[in-house]
Amino acid sequence: MVLEVNEQTRLIGKDAVFDSLGLVTIIIDIESCFLDIGYEVSLISEKALSRKISPFRSVNSLANFIVKVLGVENE
């Protein structure tokens, strides 16, 4: 099966492409990639999990959350 992923791809909830373990694995992989280039990023935190709207609901929301965690400004 080929999985097409775009910014609207659901990561949690109805029609999600991953189960909860799959999502945790992806998050760990993303954190590891950042660590490989010298950035220590923690995406699974109290702050992330307590947000009213989850940053893990879609690829786009996760990307926006990563930008905020890194403190990078959108141009």
Residue 75 pLDDT more than 60? Answer: no
- Start-end of H helices in 1-75: 20-36, 46-49, 59-70
For residue 71, the model assigns a pLDDT of 85
For residue 51, the model assigns a pLDDT of 86
Using 50, 70 and 90 to split pLDDT, how confident is the model at 1? low
- Reading the block at residue 70, the tokens are 């890194």
The answer to whether 44 touches 54, Cβ cutoff 8 Å, is: no
| Cβ count within 10 A of residue 60 | 13
pTM passes above 0.85: no
What's the length of the chain?
A: 75
Can you tell me whether residue 10 is helix, strand or coil?
A: strand
User: What is the chain's mean pLDDT, rounded?
Assistant: 87
Distance CA 55, CA 41 (A): 15
